[in-house]
Copies of this chain bind each other. A is one copy, B any other.
Amino acid sequence: MTNSGKPALGVGMIGYAFMGRAHSQAWRNARSYFDVPAVPRLAAVAGRNEAAARDTADRFGWESVETDWRRLLERDDIDIIDICTPGDTHAEIAVAALEAGKHVLCEKPLANSVEEAERMVQAAQAAAALGVRSMVGFTYRRVPAISYARRLVEEGRLGRIVHVRGAYLQDWLVDPESPLTWRLQKERAGSGALGDIGAHIIDLAQFVTGEQLTGVSALTETFVRERPVSDPSLVGTSGISGTSAGNGSATRGAVTVDDAAVLVSRMSGGALATFEATRFATGRKNSIRLEINGTRGSLAFDFEDMNVLNVHDATVDARDAGFTRVLVTEATHPYVAGWWPPGHVLGYEHAFTHQAVDLVTAIAEGTDPRPSFSDGFQVQRILSAVETSAEREGSWTPIGGARVPSPSLS
- State in angstroms the CA–CA spacing of A390 and B330 once bound together: 34
A325 within 8 A of B: yes
Which of A78-86, A181-189, A262-270 is near enough to bind chain B?
A: A262-270
Which of A98-106, A124-132, A294-302 is near enough to bind chain B?
A: A294-302
- In contact, A260 and B282 (Cβ under 8 angstroms): no
- In contact, A264 and B343 (Cβ under 8 angstroms): no
With a 10 A CB-CB cut-off, give which of A217, A265, A282, A311 has the most chain B CB atoms: A282
- In contact, A223 and B162 (Cβ under 8 angstroms): yes
- A26: shortest Cβ distance to chain B, in Å? 12
Q: Which residue of B lies closest to A220 (CB)?
A: B272
- State in angstroms the CA–CA spacing of A234 and B24 once bound together: 44
A332 within 8 A of B: yes
Q: Which residue of B lies closest to A148 (CB)?
A: B319
- In contact, B224 and A163 (Cβ under 8 angstroms): no
- In contact, A174 and B295 (Cβ under 8 angstroms): yes
- In contact, B272 and A343 (Cβ under 8 angstroms): no
- In contact, A283 and B314 (Cβ under 8 angstroms): yes
A347 within 8 A of B: yes
A320 within 8 A of B: yes
Which of A7-15, A107-115, A199-207, A392-400 is near enough to bind chain B?
A: A392-400
Interface size class of A (residues with CB under 8 A): 35 or more
Copies in the complex: 4
Which A residues from 312 to 354 make CB contacts under 8 A with B? Answer: 312, 314, 317-327, 329-330, 332-333, 340-350
Q: Enumerate chain B residues within 8 angstroms of A274, measured Cβ to Cβ.
A: 262, 264, 274, 276
- A380: shortest Cβ distance to chain B, in Å? 21
Q: Which residue of B lies closest to A219 (CB)?
A: B264
- State in angstroms the CA–CA spacing of A222 and B162 once bound together: 10
Set B284, B286, B346: member contacting A341, Cβ < 8 A: B286
Q: Which residue of B lies closest to A39 (CB)?
A: B58
Which A residues from 11 to 27 make CB contacts under 8 A with B? Answer: 18, 21-22, 24-25
Set B171, B224, B293, B409: member contacting A176, Cβ < 8 A: B409
Q: Enumerate chain B residues within 8 angstroms of A141, measured Cβ to Cβ.
A: none
Q: A264-B264, A272-B221 are in contact. Are A285 and B393 (CB under 8 A)?
A: no
6 closest pairs, A vs B, by CB? A286-B343, A285-B343, A347-B347, A217-B394, A283-B312, A393-B396
Of the A-B pairs whose beta carbons lie under 8 Å apart in the complex, a sample of 17, sorted by A's number, is A18-B340, A163-B281, A171-B314, A174-B314, A217-B219, A217-B395, A260-B272, A283-B297, A283-B312, A286-B342, A303-B345, A305-B305, A306-B345, A310-B325, A319-B326, A320-B326, A324-B324
